[in-house]
Structure 1
């Protein structure tokens, strides 16, 4: 659900920013399983994945090896931290930079965001997917976990589904940060408005229901006030210049 919604939103922003058919230079910081990186490579773009975890990098290399040769040639995988983009890339190297599900692991994201903006070409697109601190109490509240819900009103820190201590971000704060690093917010979406409390082991619905569920989530993710209480926020900034 998350990956499909983000893909649709990202494609919408790419279509709005770049000419049809242009082959883009994409950096995916923390690509994980490589869902978005491989999807963009299949669409013809040149993709660089920067992954700090050697185990995830090995899994991604194995996945890439199963792709056709033409797609493999369009993907470059590097081990590295998104906070050190200056050590790997020159300024203005990329047209699109993705940073999805990464900021939650950083105590302070501003330095990393500045580095990501630095490697964007003028007019380039910065795509961020973050946990929504303004809706942090919603999931535990709907599940009846009142202590966790009450704590979420006072702190952006929380424990994710993997059992890791992480943090959420507020749209207002990130909007100010993006403006300060020269990549002001251009568009934003909510992701997982209705499905955040669904269990990880729950089987996917049949095709017709899934189609309607995606339609409802996509509509809510771009409509106020629903998008403001989504579990995740997808923010898109555009590099000035």
Structure 2
């Protein structure tokens, strides 16, 4: 990955903006973006010496290409698999506007084995997907099937502990109590999120499907708790929040209250 990734103002969700909105977006995505850069650099270092082929990235559930297009702009071979044809159409428009090619395939995680060759991808993104699939372990096993030995899988999922905190801070104390004791991390039948995870559950999932050496960090520890006016004061505050998020992401206590949990694990090979 080239060194200009952080210079062009591109967040993991592909946002190119300025001002308070950009500061808030970068604060919410900087941790994931930095980890992806580090992961890809390691994969590049371990790839075949002298190979001119770019690394292959699959974004399972990548939607409109918020992560895929910026990665394609950096020279990677990116494929998005998503069940929504409208999202894929938006992806193709976004890629065209950016002057890059991203392959768009319609399907979900259970279709990966039929859509892509086994053991092809150097990196598979599974971001905000496991919360919604019927069988997370089976879906993740299908992801492992298209990941090459030595490749990596990046998981991003909602944190049930953060859900408890957010419901309590909103004054919904009974819902917070229910969520705290629910194995699916839900606060009730009207909860729009089908499932949330603890860090322990995500690590157990990766190990269950044969992935190794999972690392866990918190994403959006403070960014979702601060009022919007914090970002409107001055640019320095936004920059300070980004640096705070990076440190808090790996803090053993603070990472546990992050809105999302980011796990990177490798397929042995």
2:43·2:122 contact (CA, 8 Å) conserved in 1? Answer: no
TM-score (norm 2): 0.80
Partner of 1:86: 113
Matching of residues 1-241 of structure 1 within 5 Å:
1-19=27-45, 23-68=54-99, 71-72=100-101, 75-155=102-182, 156-158=184-186, 164-198=192-226, 204-205=231-232, 206-241=234-269
Give the secondary structure class of the aligned counterpart of 1:190. Answer: strand
What's the CA shift for 1:202? 6.5
After the TM superposition, which of the residue ranges 175-184 and 77-86 deviates more from structure 2? 175-184
What's the CA shift for 1:113? 0.2
Give the secondary structure class of the aligned counterpart of 1:35. Answer: coil
User: Which whole-Å CA distance do the structure 2 matches of 1:4 and 1:22 have between them?
Assistant: 27
What's the CA shift for 1:53? 1.1
User: Which whole-Å CA distance do the structure 2 matches of 1:141 and 1:107 have between them?
Assistant: 28
Gap change, CA 1:195 and 1:3, over 3 Å in 2:
closer
User: Which whole-Å CA distance do the structure 2 matches of 1:166 and 1:180 have between them?
Assistant: 21
What's the CA shift for 1:45? 0.5
Give the secondary structure class of the aligned counterpart of 2:57. Answer: strand
What's the CA shift for 1:22? 7.0
What's the CA shift for 1:101? 0.6
User: Which whole-Å CA distance do the structure 1 matches of 2:147 and 2:259 have between them?
Assistant: 27
What's the CA shift for 1:64? 1.3
Q: Over the residues paired in the alignment, what is the CA RMSD in angstroms?
A: 2.3
What's the CA shift for 1:203? 8.5
Give the secondary structure class of the aligned counterpart of 1:240. Answer: coil
- Summarize deviations over 1:39-86 as a string: whole Å, max 9, x none: 111111000000111221122122112112xx22xx111111112111
What's the CA shift for 1:204? 4.3
Q: How many residues align?
A: 234
User: Which whole-Å CA distance do the structure 1 matches of 2:252 and 2:230 have between them?
Assistant: 29
TM-score (norm 1): 0.88
2:55·2:77 contact (CA, 8 Å) conserved in 1? Answer: yes
User: Which whole-Å CA distance do the structure 2 matches of 1:198 and 1:211 have between them?
Assistant: 14
Q: Which runs of 5+ in 1 are unaligned?
A: none
Gap change, CA 1:2 and 1:31, over 3 Å in 2:
farther
Gap change, CA 1:29 and 1:176, over 3 Å in 2:
same
User: Which whole-Å CA distance do the structure 2 matches of 1:5 and 1:35 have between them?
Assistant: 16
Give the secondary structure class of the aligned counterpart of 1:56. Answer: helix
Deviation >4 Å, runs of 4+: 201-204
Gap change, CA 1:16 and 1:187, over 3 Å in 2:
farther
| Higher percent of residues as strand | 1
2:28·2:223 contact (CA, 8 Å) conserved in 1? Answer: no
